[in-house]
Amino acid sequence: MLRFLSFRGLLLAGFLGVALIPSAALVQLRHELGLAADSAQLHQRQAQRWQDIARLSQEQAVQFERASRQAAILRDRKLTETASQARGELQRAQRTLRQDAPAEAQAGIDSALALASQLQRLPPDRRQQRDALFRQLNRVLDQQQQTLAQAGEKRQASWRDDIERMRLQANRLAWLALAAAVLLALIVTLLIHAPLRGLQRRIARLAGGARQLNWRQAGPADLQRLGRELEQLDLRLVELEQQKTRFFRQVSHELKTPLASIHEAAALLKEQVAGPLNPQQRHIVDILGSNAQTLRQRVEALLKQDAGLWLSTTLNVSAFPLRQLLEARLASCQPLWQAKRLEVELDGAPGAVRGDPSKVETIVDNLLLNAIRHSPAGGRLTLRCGSERGQAWLEVADQGPGVPDALRDKIFEPFWSGPAPDGERPGSGLGLTMARGYAQLMGGELRLLDDGPGARFRLHWPEPEPI
């Protein structure tokens, strides 16, 4: 079922479900409260009506008794009619009360009606009997009023009981609604979280180097579509890695033959086959042979390992003198910086640091070649190194044109090369990428600093603890 729902639809359904359950409880509670309010108003009106009728009955009884006594003494016809009217009003009030009076008041109503009828039929000359009946009628009416008041109080108590029952029911509904909402929220969360968690694990494996994973995805339609797109990305990465492997093999093969020729030519010059060499020429030939041998080893590593030594994740940590390494790399490229008549300044303590010397050497080579290449003739090349608070660092700075702000974020991208100096070809675009990759592999970083006037690169890495 989930495969037919989008991620947005599932969230919307979940939110609606979570919102509708408490809303239904609130509607039910509102209905119950409305019934309670109507019941309270009905009870109040009924109790007030009972009290009004009981009061009217007592008033008419008093009027009936007074007029009857006066008519018996004065023999006045109008007083007799007044007494008759009061008796009639009393009887009508009692009959009206009997329609909705509580059961416990019905006997008192019947007694009042019977006493009124007896008083109507009683001759005027029976004064004592009349007085006794009037006293009995007053007692009945007083008792009736008390009975109605007690019945009203019972109705009020019953209403309060209903209110308490509704309150308890509302509490139960509120807790049930809360529990149902929480349960529904958990179900929706699990329906979304489980597929996302599985997708996250596969993405982590993809980032870790795993390829051709099973991207079949359960859950909402959006996540299934995302799984299919990630499967296409996985296949694309496999294809790119195959292209990369073919590229490095082709480059290695293309470089191996001319490097072998350079190496053999340097060996012939060193053996003085073409004629004797003076000490300075022999020094230059030694530098040429050493660099040719180093480059040849790296090309062979590329050929054997399909991505070369610089893509390896292996670190060979040892203690080495950082300043001495810089001196050795300066000596290896001496012909290059001497050809530009550069003034080299090296500043740093001779102490040892810990790290991977081969990777630091590769980084320094790339930074030196980049600095020499972009330095103006007769300029200055500055190298500084040191260590502090468990961090080893070095800087290479030149007096060239520097890096424009628009290109600062691109110089570390692979296969991207900035503008070449006059008279030179563009670079391969791999040197700084390789250097930063090595720096990050050692847990450090290679950055281009902002202060000029030329380019100034700073490498730093944490020194690992001796094992």
User: Does residue 390 sit within a domain?
Assistant: yes
Q: How confident is the model at residue 361 (pLDDT cuts 50, 70, 90)?
A: very high
- The answer on 176 and 137 residing in a single domain is yes
- The answer on 299 and 322 residing in a single domain is no
User: Does residue 199 sit within a domain?
Assistant: no
- The answer on 396 and 248 residing in a single domain is no
- The answer on 435 and 343 residing in a single domain is yes
- The answer on 377 and 340 residing in a single domain is yes
Domain boundary residue, one of 293, 312, 331:
312
Q: Please state, in angstroms and as integers, the Cα–Cα distance from residue 434 to each residue in 44, 296, 304, 415, following that order.
A: 91, 17, 18, 11
Q: Estimate to the nearest angstrom the gap between the alpha carbon of 141 and the chain centroid.
A: 75
Domain boundary residue, one of 286, 312, 338:
312
User: Does residue 440 sit within a domain?
Assistant: yes
- The answer on 339 and 456 residing in a single domain is yes
- The answer on 297 and 273 residing in a single domain is yes
Cα dihedral across residues 82, 84, 86, 89: positive or negative: negative
Cα dihedral across residues 161, 163, 169, 171: positive or negative: negative
Q: How far apart are CA 54 and CA 46, in angstroms?
A: 12
Report the DSSP beta bridge partners of residue 344. 381
User: Does residue 220 sit within a domain?
Assistant: no
Among 8-17, 170-179, 329-338, 392-401, the minimum mean pLDDT is found in 8-17
Q: How far apart are CA 248 and CA 59, in angstroms?
A: 119
11-25, 266-280, 300-314, 430-444 — most confident range? 430-444
Total domain count, the chain: 3
The per-residue pLDDT for 306 is 46
- Percent of the chain surpassing pLDDT 70: 82
Q: Please state, in angstroms and as integers, the Cα–Cα distance from residue 104 to each residue in 101, 147, 155, following that order.
A: 8, 7, 13
**Mean predicted confidence (pLDDT) in 169-188:** 76
The CA-based diameter of the chain, rounded to the nearest angstrom, is 176
- The answer on 349 and 443 residing in a single domain is yes
Domain boundary residue, one of 291, 312, 333:
312
Q: How confident is the model at residue 424 (pLDDT cuts 50, 70, 90)?
A: low
User: Does residue 140 sit within a domain?
Assistant: yes
**Mean predicted confidence (pLDDT) in 13-32:** 72
Among 70-79, 268-277, 298-307, 406-415, the minimum mean pLDDT is found in 298-307
- The answer on 346 and 264 residing in a single domain is no
Query: What digits encode the pLDDT tens for the residues 250-303?
Result: 666 566 657 666 766 777 777 776 678 788 877 887 777 777 767 766 666 555
Q: How far apart are CA 45 and CA 134, in angstroms?
A: 30
Calculate the average pLDDT of the chain.
79
Q: Residue 355: which CATH number?
A: 3.30.565.10
- The answer on 371 and 387 residing in a single domain is yes
CB within 8 A of 84, min separation 6: which ones?
Answer: 120
User: Does residue 26 sit within a domain?
Assistant: yes
The per-residue pLDDT for 309 is 43
User: Does residue 179 sit within a domain?
Assistant: yes
- The answer on 178 and 61 residing in a single domain is yes
Q: Give the domain extent around 447.
A: 313-462
Query: What digits encode the pLDDT tens for the residues 225-246?
Result: 777 888 888 888 888 777 776 6
- The answer on 343 and 305 residing in a single domain is no
**Mean predicted confidence (pLDDT) in 365-374:** 89
Other beta carbons less than 10 A from residue 63's beta carbon: 17
User: Does residue 213 sit within a domain?
Assistant: no
The per-residue pLDDT for 418 is 66
On the question of pLDDT at 317 being above 80, the answer is yes
